[in-house]
């Protein structure tokens, strides 16, 4: 791209001097000794859908090093991709061409934790699960949780404004992140690492970085308020005969268990087939059902929550809203039920290359899009349920239905344009026609960059561009993404 400099040996020498030698991975082409395989994990995304060809990966250890690196890259017009755990699902964290990868993985220290307020301050490269273990030892829980917790970074979560399975209970990171430290493209450090719950001193700049997907600055530190860890957790899996039943059960769950309801997730029979086939898990219920729901309650009084959830299950079964249900009896059953839900993305990935759409749609029509896409693929001759000879193997839906968030997945034998054309831009038009969002939680990245207009007006996009110009006038940060 003519806007950016092609990285040369001289640049690598300069950048190498800014950080410890073991934190730099450079290929022979730019004067290093790493082979392409060593950079593969930084160049390719989790879905193996997007592949860049970066020749240089920098893994600084301090905010000062990040600032020095960016200052140099900005002055030389060298494009940079900030990268966390590289679990993103829209190609946002990998280079498109040969951008330098700036990985935060060496910035992984807890900076402080206040046991009275539950406020955690840490480096952006801390792995979410490790943070959850850290705060758990002190009686707290991270306000977000997702299937990629073992690899994703808190900085990546914030940059992506990740949602996940605790969103229903604890809400968005726009609420739980209290402060950020971010380095701008020109090396300026914005120290907004506040630990205050209340701070009305003008514009709240950190909010711009939450969900900015690495396009406005590199997040190096995060302050987040963590809730008390619930001492009583219950989980049940339900077999439901229809999508209508999934909604009715949600209404009843809120009515009967609202104050302790902490998750309401659903998946369809195709997802269940994939999970059982790939995760070695036993079916939690006696037979098959068109839909499955996982309900979780979290509270502080086990007897109270047991009684409430048991009464809800009885009512759901007696009224015929659900056909079957199983209540986890101990911690290991709770874990197994959750791993069934959380194992869906990996199981679909093992079934075949997966096209993922992550949309917000009003709950009553949320699942309709799955049927509409399946019909379009059938009409195009690419799919028939159960026919393994067709290029498309599965069309399925799951997700955080309590938040109005559907994950529509299409599993095929390869990523190819003739398949994509069947559902793009149709899926985005479908979502826009219901005033939904083309990204509920995964972001725009490179995947949806050309479709942003389905969820944002021209005026809003114009202001987004102006904000980008303010923070990164040379557009070196994560080019080709979002805008
Ligand atoms: P990366 O993938 O490395 O990067 C994501 C984006 O953030 C990129 O644009 C990157 O440039 C930018 N970025 C990363 N770190 C920084 C930083 N320090 N400063 C500035 N920009 C940065 N997402 C959900 O919302 N909910 C889910 O339930 C969910 N479940 C998932 C389950 C699985 C199995 C997988 C593989 C992914 C899932 N995701 C989910 C998507 C993904 O895990 C999240 O978006 C996660 O927050 C990404 O974090 P990461 O550290 O891997 O970021
Ligand atoms: C999930 O909810 O499992 C994640 O968002 C990942 C996915 O959509 O596959
Ligand atoms: Zn999700």
- Do 251 and 326 fall into the same domain? yes
Q: Are residues 273 and 362 in the same domain?
A: no
Task: Please give the pLDDT value at position 328.
Answer: 95
Task: Kindly report the CATH number assigned to the domain that includes residue 372.
Answer: 3.30.70.2740
Cβ–Cβ contacts within 10 Å for residue 403, how many? Answer: 21
By alpha-carbon position, which residue is closest to atom 7 of ligand 2? Answer: 345
* DSSP secondary structure, 23-92, as one string: GEEEBGGGT--B-HHHHHHHHB-TTS--B---SEEE--SSHHHHHHHHHHHHHHT--EEEESSS--SSS-
For every residue of 423-452, DSSP letters joined together read HTTHHHHHHHHTT-BSBSSS--TTTSGGGG
Domain check: are 115 and 221 in the same one?
Answer: yes
User: Is 204 part of a structural domain of the chain?
Assistant: yes
Inside any domain, residue 284: yes
Strand partners, 69: none
For ligand 2, atom 9, the nearest C-alpha belongs to 345
User: 198-237 burial, b if ≥16 CB within 10 A, otherwise e?
Assistant: eeeeeeeebebbbbbbbbbbbbbbbbbbbbebbeebbbbb
The answer to whether 70 and 55 are in contact (CB under 8 A) is no
Burial grade of 120 (CB within 10 A; 0-12, 13-18, 19 or more): buried
Question: 199 lies in a domain?
Answer: yes
User: Which parts of the chain have pLDDT scores under 50?
Assistant: none
3-state DSSP call for residue 219?
strand
Farthest-apart Cα atoms in the chain, separation: 74
407 and 426 share one domain: yes
Ligand 2 pocket mutation pick from 147, 165, 411, 448 by most atoms within 8 angstroms of CB: 147
Q: Which helix (H) or strand (E) holds 294?
A: strand 291-299
Distance (Å, whole) CA 169 – CA 180: 23
Q: What is the pLDDT of residue 411?
A: 98
Does residue 4 lie within any of the structural domains? Answer: no
Q: Is the dihedral of CA 62, 67, 72, 78 positive or negative?
A: positive
Of all protein residues, the one whose alpha carbon is nearest to atom 4 of ligand 1 is 93
In terms of domains, do 325 and 403 share one? Answer: no
Classify 171 in phi/psi space as left (phi over 0), alpha (psi -120 to 50) or beta. left
Q: Which protein residue's CA is at the shortest distance from atom 13 of ligand 1?
A: 156
The whole domain housing 132 covers 110-225
Cβ-contact 357, 47 below 8 angstroms: no
Pocket of ligand 2 (CB under 6 A): 147, 344-345, 356, 358, 399, 407
Q: Looking at the structure, do residues 282 and 218 belong to the same domain, yes or no? A: no
CATH number of the domain enclosing 310: 3.30.70.2190
Q: Is 251 inside any structural domain? A: yes
326/250 same-domain check: yes
pLDDT at 279: 87
| pLDDT at residue 305, as a whole number | 93
Angstrom CA distances, 218 to 60, 215, 259, 416, 471, stand at 12, 8, 37, 33, 11
In a domain, 464, yes or no: no
Tens digit of each residue's pLDDT (9 = 90 or more) over 178-217: 999 999 999 999 999 999 999 999 999 999 999 999 999 9
Domain final residue, candidates 194, 225, 256: 225
In angstroms, the CA 110 to CA 84 distance is 16
- Nearest protein CA to atom 21 of ligand 1, as residue: 214
- Residue 482 belongs to some domain of the structure: no
Are residues 339 and 356 located together in one domain of the fold?
A: no
**385 torsion bin: left (phi>0), alpha (psi -120 to 50), beta (else):** beta
Is 88 part of a structural domain of the chain? no
Q: Tell me what pLDDT residue 386 has.
A: 87
- Cis preceding-peptide flag for 425 (omega within 30 of 0): yes
Tokens of 382: 């690419």
Do 437 and 365 share a structural domain? yes
Q: Which atom of ligand 1 is nearest to the CA of 478?
A: 11
Q: Residues 305, 306, 312, 315: is their CA dihedral positive or negative?
A: negative
**Quick one: 337 and 395 in the same domain?**
no
Whether 127 and 211 share a structural domain? yes
Here the CATH number for the domain that contains residue 215 is 3.30.465.10
* Ligand 2, atom nearest to 341 Cα: 3
pLDDT value for 278: 93
**How would you class 35 by CB atoms within 10 Å of its CB: exposed for 0-12, middle for 13-18, buried for 19 or more?**
exposed
Examine the domain organization and report whether 311 and 374 are in the same domain.
no
In a 3-state reduction of DSSP, which class is residue 12?
A: helix
What pLDDT does 313 receive?
97
Q: In what order do the strands lie in the sheet with 354-360?
A: 324-327, 232-240, 291-299, 261-268, 392-400, 405-412, 354-360
Q: How many domains does the chain have?
A: 3
Domain final residue, candidates 344, 375, 400 = 344
Q: What spacing in Å lies between the alpha carbon of 131 and ligand 2's midpoint?
A: 20
């Amino acid at each position: 791209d003519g806007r950016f400099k092609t990285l040369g040996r001289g640049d690598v020498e300069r950048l190498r001097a800014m950080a410890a030698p073991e934190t730099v991975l450079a290929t022979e082409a730019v004067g290093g000794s790493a082979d392409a395989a060593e950079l593969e994990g930084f160049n390719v995304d989790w879905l193996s859908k997007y592949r860049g060809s970066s020749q240089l990966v920098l893994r600084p250890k301090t905010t000062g090093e990040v600032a020095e690196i960016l200052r140099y890259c900005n002055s030389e017009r060298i494009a940079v991709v900030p990268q966390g755990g590289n679990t993103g699902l829209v190609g946002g964290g990998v280079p498109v061409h040969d951008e330098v990868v700036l990985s935060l993985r060496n910035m992984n220290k807890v900076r402080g934790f206040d046991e009275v307020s539950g406020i955690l301050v840490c480096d952006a490269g801390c792995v979410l699960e490790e943070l959850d273990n850290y705060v758990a030892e002190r009686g707290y829980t991270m306000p977000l949780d997702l299937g990629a917790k073992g690899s994703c970074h808190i900085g990546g979560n914030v940059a992506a404004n990740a949602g996940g399975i605790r969103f229903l209970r604890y809400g968005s990171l726009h609420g739980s992140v209290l402060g950020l430290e971010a380095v701008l493209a020109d090396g300026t450090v914005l120290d907004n690492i506040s630990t205050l719950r209340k701070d009305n001193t003008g514009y709240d700049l950190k909010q711009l970085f939450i969900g900015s997907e690495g396009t406005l600055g590199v997040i190096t530190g995060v302050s987040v308020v963590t809730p008390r860890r619930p001492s009583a957790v219950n989980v049940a899996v339900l077999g439901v005969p229809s999508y209508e039943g999934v909604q009715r059960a949600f209404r009843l769950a809120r009515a009967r268990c609202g104050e302790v309801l902490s998750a309401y997730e659903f998946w369809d029979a195709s997802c269940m087939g994939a999970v059982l086939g790939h995760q070695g898990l036993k079916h939690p219920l006696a037979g098959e059902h068109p839909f499955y729901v996982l309900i979780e309650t979290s509270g502080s009084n086990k007897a109270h929550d047991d009684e409430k959830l048991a009464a809800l299950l009885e009512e759901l079964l007696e009224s015929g809203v659900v056909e079957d249900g199983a209540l986890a009896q101990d911690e290991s059953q709770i874990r197994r039920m959750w791993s069934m839900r959380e194992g869906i993305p990996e199981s679909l990935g093992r079934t075949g290359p997966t096209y993922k759409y992550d949309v917000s749609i009003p709950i009553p029509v949320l699942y309709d899009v799955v049927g509409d896409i399946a019909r379009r693929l059938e009409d195009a001759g690419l799919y028939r349920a159960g026919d393994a000879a067709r290029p498309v193997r599965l069309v399925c839906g799951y997700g955080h239905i309590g938040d109005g968030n559907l994950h529509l997945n299409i599993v095929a034998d390869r990523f190819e344009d003739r398949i994509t054309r069947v559902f793009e831009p149709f899926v985005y038009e479908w979502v826009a026609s219901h005033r939904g969002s083309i990204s509920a939680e995964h972001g725009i990245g490179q995947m949806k960059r050309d479709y942003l207009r389905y969820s944002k007006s021209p005026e809003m996009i114009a202001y987004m561009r102006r904000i980008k110009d303010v923070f990164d006038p040379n557009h070196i940060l994560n080019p080709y993404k979002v805008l």
